[in-house]
Amino acid sequence: MLISYRACNSTKPRVPTFHSPPSQPPATMSKSTPALFRPIRVGDLELAHRVIMAPLTRFRADDNHVPLPHLVAQYYSQRASVPGTLLISEATFIDARAGGYANAPGIWSEEQIEAWKAVTAAVHAKGSYIYLQLWALGRAGVPRQLEKELGRKAAEVYVSASSIPLSNRSSKDPSPRALSIPEIDEYVQLYAQAAENAVKLAGFDGVEIHGANGYLVDQFLQDVSNKRTDKYGGSIENRSRFPLEVLDAVVNRVGQRKTGLRLSPWSDHQDMGMKDPVPTYTYLINTILHKYPDLSYLHVTEKRLYVPRAGQPVAATDEFVTEGQENDFIRKLCSAKGMPLITAGGYTRETGIRIAETKGDLIAYGRLFISNPDLPYRLQRGLSVEKGDRKRYYSRGSLDLTGYTDYPFSEQFVQETGAVQPGLQSRL
C-alpha cells in the first residue's frame, strides 16, 4: 500500500490521510510492500510506517534554551508531513545544571514548555507524533558554559560519574567532579520532572531517555568512564543502577508506553567504548524487558564501517556493520519479548528496507531527514533524496532558515498533497 492522500475542497493545503490506491482492494495491503513501509504499534501509537526521524541536535534555541518561536515548530511540522510518522526531538536538557552547551533547548522552564507546545501542536496537526529526548551532558558539557550559566565555579558544577576528563579537553579545564549519591538522587528526579513537563504540559507523545554517545547515563553505564567504588560503580549491576533508576522514575511519571531508551553499545564517541559491552548491555536490557515489558521501544546505534565504491563519495557508499560489533544480541532479546527496536546508523533506502525486512527493526534516519522533509514519501516511492549542507547543520541561535526549513518537498509530494514548498512558507 502506498501512502496516499485525499483532496479536500479548500484553498488550504490538503490534509493528508491514508487510503489504498484504487488499483488495490480498499482495506488490504500488498504482500509485496516492504516491512519498512508497513504499520506498526509503538507504545500508545499506531505508526503508518517504520521510518523514524532520529534525534538531531540543531542548536536553534535562544540563550535561555527556549526553542526559537515559529522556526522550530515549522522545522518539525515539515518533517511530520507524512501522517503517522514518529519524530524524536533533538536532545533537550532536563535542567540547567545538566547542560553545558549554548543554544540547545531545555524543558524545565515555563518559557521552554510554552515553546515546545507550539512544536507538538504543529506535528499533531499533520497527523504525526513526536517524542522528546531527555538529555544530561555530564563530562561532555563545556565547563566555561556551565560556569557562565550557573554563576558558580566550573570545578563545582562540571560533573560526571567519576573524575575522568575527556581526552580532547584543554589542560586548563577542570576534571569533572564525581556526583555524590544525594546529587545522583536529584538527577533522577530531574529526569522524572522533565518527562512530566514534556508529556503532561508540553504535549509530547512520549520521551526518549538519552543513554547513548558518552553523555551522563552512558558515563555511569560503561566501565571506561565509571570507576566508582560505591553502589553506582564496579559490577555490571552497580553500573546499571543509575540508568535503571532514571528509567524507573520516568516510567513512574509518564508510563511505560510513553517511554523509550537510546543506547550505543559499540560507540567510541567521547572516549567511550568498553572492551566487551555485551555482558553489560545484556544485563541492562534483560532487566528492562522483565520489569517493563510494555516499554515503548529501545533505540540503538550501529557502529558502521563505510566502504566507498570506486569513484563515489562516502555519502553514496554501501554500509556494513563493523565485524564483531553487531547489535544482533539486542535484537534477539527484544524479539523474544516483542519489544519494538529502532536502529540508527547511516542507513540508505536499500539498507533500511533490508534491515526492516530481515531483522524487524524500525529504522531511524537522521541527516536524510534534515534535507528531505518528506523522507518517508520519497523512500517508499524510490524517489531521489537531497544531500544536506553540513556547514549549516549547527547554526547556534540563528533565525536564518537556510539549511533548516528551506529544504524542498519532492515535486510529486507537492502535486499529490497540495503542500506548500518550504521556501515559500515564510512569505505566506
Collapsing DSSP states into helix, strand and coil, what is residue 242?
A: helix
Q: Name the region of 203 (left: φ>0; alpha: ψ -120 to 50; beta: rest).
A: left
C-alpha cell of residue 348: 540508505
Which class for 236: exposed (0-12), middle (13-18), buried (19 or more C-beta within 10 A)? Answer: middle
Residue 186's contacts (CB-CB under 8 Å, 6 or more residues apart) are none
Collapsing DSSP states into helix, strand and coil, what is residue 164?
A: coil
Q: Which of 215, 281, 377, 407 is catalytic?
A: 215
CB contact at 8 A, 191 and 246: yes
Which class for 170: exposed (0-12), middle (13-18), buried (19 or more C-beta within 10 A)? Answer: exposed
Return the C-alpha torsion angle 209, 147, 164, 89, nearest 10.
20
Closest of 159, 109, 114 to residue 138, by C-alpha: 159
C-alpha cell of residue 108: 524545565
Closest of 401, 364, 395 to residue 379, by C-alpha: 364
Residue 191 a catalytic site member: no
C-alpha cell of residue 361: 527493526
Residue type, 87: L
Closest of 89, 88, 80, 52 to residue 352, by C-alpha: 52
Positive or negative torsion for Cα 267, 270, 276, 279: negative
* Beta-ladder partners of 343: 300, 363
Active site residues per annotation:
215
